Structure 1
Amino acid sequence: AYSGGSGSGGGRGGGPNTKGLLIGAIAVVAAVVIGIGVAMLGGDEDKGDKDNEADSTPTQSQQSTAPSPSNSNSQAAEEDLPTIDAKALALGGSAVTASDVKGAQADGGVYVQGFNQVGSSVTWKVNGIPKSGKYTVYVGYSVPGKDQNATLTVNGTPANTPVDLKNWAHGPEGDYEKSWTKTYNWIQLNKGTNTIKVSCEQGNQCDALIDQLWLVKGWVK
């Protein structure tokens, strides 16, 4: 009887152990499945973040870099105005070209001399002015260590102020080579073609060498 009881007791003990193992196995499987699900969700989120970063990076780069070259190009185009060297100027009176004195900035070191006689002139017929308005004309020149001046005429109208050919370089008297400098006048130009003339008229002191003329947009110093 005892052994039978023992046998039935052993059977009851075996039943609960099997169920425990089964429940444990199910719990493990469930945990693995949940873990995989969480990992997959996490992976999608990471991927989404990376995709967002990849999408936003080019946009930020374009916003920060694109305007800079565009603006600089447009500004460069605006300021790209004509320059003329001495040998391309139309000469009047006793004005002639030479290259003996060193220091001229024009191509080949060429400049205009013989400008110191009444009636002498250099004339620039300048094309390609982008629009009517204010411009500054610069004159590159040298004087023999003392101040000189000339007359400016734009499109046939003499300017109210002279071309001040002063000894800005503080060169010694008689030394053209050490006296190269520049001066400027404010003028109004029309769109297209204009004529700019620098001449030696009655009342001017015109002992100067002229090597270049150039334009800048606006009235600048």
Structure 2
Amino acid sequence: MEAAQPDTVIAPSLLAADFARLAEAGARVADDVDWLHVDVMDNHFVPNLTIGPPVVKSLKAATDVPLDCHLMIEDPERWAVGYAELGAYNVTFHAEASADPVTLAKRLRAAGAKAGLAIDRDTPVEEYLDLLPEFDTLLIMTIKAGFGGQSFIPEMLEKVRTARNHARGGHLELRIEVDGGIADDTIAAAAEAGADSFVAGTAVFGADDPAEACRRLRALAEAAR
């Protein structure tokens, strides 16, 4: 039986960690997080190039923390299911890159993963609201996808509010995840808007004590929610 997930999910982004020590970075925060966020970029859908299946396979063998794979790639229909087969807990692909998001979500679930849909900065969320019952997670970018360390864009929280209000109409179990510029001074606003899952990179792995940074972010989000 799958373990129950907490009301608030903290998912530090390994994009901000030392790539030579990813497993070690994950271990440093393992007791204080719910997921490890893995940013997969292909230098096509976004102009950055990061990691792929071999690294995810190694991470899966090195940690018991569920892996939250965020695919910023072209042609997710070709590649996404492979991450589920490697044991990723949640596989999120971009709406902008997918020809048939619902069918891909069903394939991910059949392969044993949760299915997530990501919405980039310049994409309206409204046209995807009716698809949300097919997904476990909606990831709303609060920056432009592609690089870490960008500043949080507060206007993106209107998408969070819209999605949360829609989910209250019948998809209460939907996770709404925010990614980009999440830190001590932004997480409360995201939680108040309706987010319940939070990706934080620099705020965690740029801190002197990453585990304490995660505990602090959780406390701020829970107080705001």
Q: TM-score range by the shorter chain?
A: under 0.3
Considering Cα pairs closer than 8 Å and 6+ residues apart, tell me whether 1 or 2 has the greater RCO: 1
Q: Structure 1 length normalisation: TM-score?
A: 0.23
Q: Structure 2 length normalisation: TM-score?
A: 0.22
Q: If each structure's strand is expressed as a fraction of its own residues, which one has the higher value?
A: 1
